[in-house]
Amino acid sequence: MPTFVSELRQRNVLRVAAAYALVSWILIEAGSVLLPTFGLEWLFKIYVLIVIAGFIVAMIVAWVFEITPDGVKRERDIDRTAYAPQPRSRMNSLIIALLVLALGVSITFNLTGIRRSDVLVNEPVARDSIAVLPFSNRSADEDNRYFADGIHDDILTRLADVESLRVISRTSVNEYRDTNKKIQQIGRELGVSAIVEGAVQRVGDKVRITVQLIDAKTDEHLWAKTYDEALTIENVFEIQSEISAQVALSLRAALTPDDELRLAASPTDNIDAYSEYVKGRANLSERSFTSLEAARRNFERAIELDPGYAQAHALLAQTVLVILSNHKSIVPSEAYSVAGQAVETALEIDPQLAEAYAARGLLESSKWETNRIGPGNIAAAESFRTALALSPSLADAYVWFASLRTSEGEIDAAIDLLTKALQIDPLSRIPYVNLPSFYAMRGQIDETTQMLVGAISLFPDWSTPYNYLSNHMQKLGRLDEAVAWGLQDIRLNEDPMSGGYLLPIYAEFGDDAAITEFVEQFPKDHPLYPVGKSYWHYITRDYEGALQELESIDDVSEFPAEFVYPLMVGASIMLGDYDQAYEYMTEGSPTLTGDTDATVDRKNVQDAVLLAFIEQKRNRHGQASKLLDKAQPVVEGLPRLGMAGHGITDVHILTLRGRPNAAMEALIEAVEEGYVSSQVFDPWPFDEDPIIEPLRSDPRFPAVQQRMIDKIELMRHNVEAARSSDEWSELLARAESI
């Protein structure tokens, strides 16, 4: 009986296996060169799997079939006694020939350099990620830094529009200006496989630009070139286009026809307009109060010099919307008018401009978030998707899209978008303060604190994380720490509104002097000055004076609704005018008052409960009950404390539902968790809260209130001690130790 091995030999399975292995080696070696040549690197893994699968098929065929003088037959149908054994020399000779061929192919590919493209200095590998470091300024005139930055910024922007490349955004690469770090370290920190370095020297009417593409893993040069040209706008853009195209080709990026057109585009023919645009872009990226105002002037000047400068129009729109969102130093009607016109002009000039679609998305989402009426959020989402389809590396579009999703309650989607933004822009600042807010929404208080402290350690000169951490501490009931962090924000921030969020704390401390000082120093020409005067009356409990100030304003719709209507509603309630409070609520929250089936969510739940209270006072108990039914499950899903906390909204709901004992127990629980102040959550101080009035007769209430007063007094003492010694480190260290 034949053994298994003898059967293998008889059926030529071993020789077929050897021959196939050698053929496979040749095919794989050839594929490793030919596929990348045609831009098909992605197909190589599939190609190898097909070759391996073919080996299995060949072995089955060699076992089942045999070549005979009468043709190919199945092994089981062959009478071995009728055929003489076939000579093996022919098969052996074939195997030897294949072995020689395989060795020859391997030696040729690996030793002669055929794998390398003749465009490159060294062997490239498949790459899809790149960082363009700030170009150094080699001119004697330091003002020429803006020109060097413009060259860098345009090359980065052109490459970011290439769909097949992941390009690290300017925010992150700017952290490496004048760095001494090695290329390999930068590559690891930014998670890229290649890095572009460059330098610009401008002398008179001549410009020299040197650029090099470096493998971030090996620190080897992949491509380099020096350009010496006359300084004309045409030459500048031609050089930028050539550099961008060469970098893309060197990285073997697949360029679509649209990519090629964008790489070759010349956005302006006016070098002075280009200079203003470059300065504006640098100022916009800083995101400070003064830099944003300067950016607006830069873009407006660029447009004056070249009305057809589409990119300047798009970034002007972005600038005024960021000013409105971050600093409120422009009234909404002006911001929306300027941004709307700028976006439309930009898209008329260049219908494929990603920055313009991103600006349109920001405009549409900003409008929708003011009253949440209509399909503005849907239109905004579509604009963001278009922007990202045109420029997948546009980090700001991901960040603004995430803010929209947050407003819609889609927290997981928002986190995903911010994660993508950080992949493109690892040192982008905004995600480092927005992501903690998502953890706060989930009630992960310590994680929120740690992330904000981490953001401060990363960006110690940026005021925003100090602002966020102060707000977080304030809503945790840690008022003394909130003041300490808020003062750090004021130290870094030129915005006259900085520190305004500390006024409720000063009111709790009875520090009228600090409130008065803030109001007196607030600029009288600031758009929010009339509202600030009203707030001063309100926080000092002059509710009639607060309403008089607001009612003297010709058009309150010119001011952000979140600043105006809570004051008007709160003051009317404090004065006992519930019909007037309802009218103001109708103007401030039209979706709640105009539609009984309106959605109640995290964004408007406290307004819904406040409206329910007003409706009860107006003897509309049915409407009040519907609102409370919608609000209760929302509140149950929210944390009590922290920057996303609801405070004692559950206490309000239980009180309005006529359950005073349950409401009292909820209040005791809130104070045990750290709740000390209503003014940071609601439009009134705790001792004047009209909703919990039925609880004041509970024998447990005085002790609960006294406990809050004692905590506030202790924190007031801590702040006074720190202020007198100008030593805030102990208060700051508490959050840092978590």
Instruction: Copy the structure tokens of residue 474.
Output: 């304030």
User: What six digits make up the tokens of 370?
Assistant: 């003011």
d(CA 97, CA 118): 31
Tens digit of pLDDT for each residue in 445-475? 999 999 999 999 988 999 999 999 999 999 9
pLDDT of residue 168: 84
Q: What are 224's strand-pairing partners?
A: 212
| Most distant CA atoms of the chain, gap in Å | 118
Ramachandran assignment for 372, one of left (phi > 0), alpha (psi -120 to 50 degrees), beta (any other): left
In this prediction the pTM is: 0.72
Q: What is the DSSP letter of 683?
A: S
Distance CA 21, CA 454 (A): 55
- Mean local confidence (pLDDT), 340-353: 96
477 is written with which tokens?
């009931």
| CB neighbours of residue 630 within 10 Å | 21
Instruction: Report the half-sphere exposure of 626 (CA within 13 A, side-chain side).
Output: 11
C-alpha span between 208 and 149 (Å, rounded): 14
Q: What is the pLDDT of residues 683-700, one digit of tens each?
A: 899 999 999 999 999 999
In the numeric block, the tokens 């070139």 are attached to 225
pLDDT value at 108 more than 60: no
Residue among 612, 605, 671, 677 at smallest CA distance from 644: 605
Among 423, 497, 523, residue whose Cα is nearest residue 190: 423
Residue appearing with tokens 């922290």: 642
Residue 688 in contact with residue 705, Cβ under 8 Å? no
The one-character DSSP state at 392 is T
Q: Judge contact between 566 and 559, C-beta under 8 A.
A: no
| Domains of the chain, earliest start first | 4-111 (no CATH), 129-263 (3.40.50.10610), 271-487 (1.25.40.10)
Phi, psi for 561 (deg, rounded to 5) = -60, -35
Stretch 291-307: mean pLDDT, rounded?
Answer: 96
> Per-residue pLDDT tens for 225-249?
887 887 777 777 777 777 777 777 7
Is residue 349 over pLDDT 70? Answer: yes
Q: Does the pLDDT at position 296 exceed 50?
A: yes
What are the φ and ψ backbone dihedral angles of 410, each rounded to 5 degrees?
A: -95, 75
Cross-strand bridge partners of residue 202: 207
